[in-house]
Amino acid sequence: MAMSEFEIIRRNFASRGIDRGDVVLGIGDDGAVVRMPSGCDLVTVVDTLVAGVHFPHETRPEDVGHKALAVNLSDVAAMGAVPAWATLALTLPHADEAWLSAFARGFFGLAQRYEVQLVGGDTTHGPLTVTVQIQGWVHSGRAVRRSGARPGDVIYLTGAVGDAGLALRAWQQQQALSATDGEYLFSRLHRPIPRCREGEALSGEVSAMVDVSDGLAADLGHILEASGVGATLNLHSIPLSPSFVAVTGSGKYYMNEAERLRLALSAGDDYELCFTAPEAQCRRVEDIFSNFSCGCHAIGIIETAPGLRLRQADGTLLSLERNGYEHFAQEPGNAGN
Ligand SMILES: [Mg+2]
């Protein structure tokens, strides 16, 4: 590399972003030292993004920086935890100053928003790969697991699903979308806003939670498996954004109802929260979400019978397997986290 590792760190990552009072020792030593709030459990998450696997090679560096942090913040949120400290391992094909400074802009922009401090990192030479680890805290015993869902619990979903999957298809096919829908859908793909405040507020309030990174059906499946239960989703209750509905409603991305739902349930990269709550808690959940603009929808019910049933408005069940006419020959090449 033209620039030394130390020079890369110093120029782009040292002394950037916020200064948390609980960081005893940040970047620059063999390790970081932080002080945990008393009465709390430490929550640790890590996620790796590989160019060409988790994001297209041509993705703007600001967006890579933002998304690498966002996908981890989403995991912290899914535990009901408060994010605090991050470490970053960057593998770079070459030390491109302009790329690094744009990457750092995206990374620190989001870190600032959630008061996360970068406390350490590592750089190596190789194919572009970004690994972020975040540590945060939750009041002792209040972390939300995947294993707590019980028959009768209501299944909730924040925001809307399918936007990022649709944007990825448009990106791969290099098809233009209308300015308004395009801007919204591409921001959902490249600059997802993790549901951090929402996740924190649900700590100790809900029975199980997961973030939606691999697709709603797959991620809800993790809750069902860990909890030893099944579920029915009411497909007419699955929240879809106005842009998703508009773009799939006519023109080159037209999809019938079944195709549209299959995309929304399986494309992934949504970074919404899916959680379950006993019926007695539903009022409380709705109160919590009156404070948040993303909204929260009851989409189904946990049942004793194993498996996931997808009930359409007419009462028949939808299969997620694709059959019949398929608009898009190529599957999305993206993988969630
Ligand atoms: Mg996750």
Q: What is the 3-state secondary structure (H, E, C) of the chain?
A: CCCCHHHHHHHHCCCCCCCCCCEEECECECCCEECCCCCEEEEEEEEEEEECCCECCCCCHHHHHHHHHHHHHHHHHHCCCEEEEEEEEEEECCCCHHHHHHHHHHHHHHHHHCCCEEEEEEEEECCCEEEEEEEEEEECCCCCCCCCCCCCCEEEEECCCCHHHHHHHHHHCCCCCCHHHHHHHHHHHHCCCCCHHHHHHHCCCCCEEEEECCCHHHHHHHHHHHHCCEEEEEHHHCCCCHHHHHHHHCHHHCCCHHHHHHHHHHCCCCCEEEEEECHHHHHHHHHHHCCCCCCEEEEEEEECCCEEEEECCCCCECCCCCCCCCCCCCCCCCCCC
Among candidates 105, 103, 140, 142, which has minimal Cα distance to 123? 103
Spatial contact of 267 and 165, defined as CB atoms under 8 Å apart = yes
Conformational region of residue 141, where left means phi above 0, alpha means psi within -120 to 50, and beta covers everything else: left
Average confidence (pLDDT) over 257-273 = 94
What's this model's pTM, rounded to 2 decimal places? Answer: 0.92
Measured in Å, residue 213 CA sits from the centre of ligand 1 at 6
pLDDT band at 10 (very low <50, low <70, confident <90, very high): confident
pLDDT reading at 1 higher than 60: no
Cα 88 to middle of ligand 1, angstroms: 18
CA 78 to ligand 1 center in whole angstroms: 7
Residue 330's CB: how many other CB atoms inside 10 A? 8
Whether 284 shows a pLDDT value over 50: the answer reads yes
Over the stretch 16-53, which tens digit does the pLDDT of each residue have? Answer: 888 999 999 998 889 999 999 999 999 999 999 999 98
Side-chain-side CA neighbours of 169 within 13 Å: the count stands at: 22
Q: How far is the CA of 305 from the centre of ligand 1 (A)?
A: 25
Which range of 9-13, 249-253, 280-284 scores highest in mean pLDDT? It is 280-284
Ligand 1 center to 10 CA (angstroms):
31
pLDDT given at position 330: 40
Q: CB atoms < 10 A from the CB of 38, how many?
A: 6
- Spatial distance between the Cα atoms of 271 and 217, rounded to a whole number of angstroms: 13
Q: Retrieve residue 134's tokens.
A: 């975040």
Centre of ligand 1 from the C-alpha of residue 271, in Å: 8
Task: Tell me what the pLDDT averaged over the chain comes to.
Answer: 91
pLDDT at res. 186: 95
Name the pLDDT band for 201 (thresholds 50, 70, 90): very high
Residues 58-62: what's their mean pLDDT? 94
Q: Between the CA of residue 184 and those of 22, 32, 237, 244, what are the distances in Å?
A: 36, 38, 22, 9
Quote the tokens at residue 219: 């991620």
Between the CA of 286 and the centroid of ligand 1 the distance, in Å, is: 23
Percent of the chain with pLDDT over 70: 93
Closest CA to 195 of 185, 181, 209: 209
pLDDT of residue 3: 63
**Residue 190 in tokens:** 């490249």
Other CB atoms within 10 A of residue 201 CB: 19
CA 94 – ligand 1 centroid, Å = 30
From the CA of 218, how far away is ligand 1's center (Å)? 11
How does residue 203 score in pLDDT terms, banded at 50, 70 and 90?
A: very high
How remote is the CA of residue 173 from the centroid of ligand 1, in Å? 28
Question: How far, in Å, is the centroid of ligand 1 from the Cα of 74?
Answer: 7
Q: Which residue has the tokens 């929550």?
A: 43
What is the per-residue pLDDT across 307-336, written as a single tens digit (0 to 9) for each?
999 999 999 999 987 543 333 434 444 444
CA nearest to 69, candidates 32, 24, 104, 93:
104
CA–centroid distance, 176 to ligand 1, in Å, is 31
pLDDT, position 189 = 95
Cα angle 278, 284, 290; round to 5: 130
Task: Note the pLDDT of residue 5.
Answer: 65
Residues 70-79: what's their mean pLDDT? 98
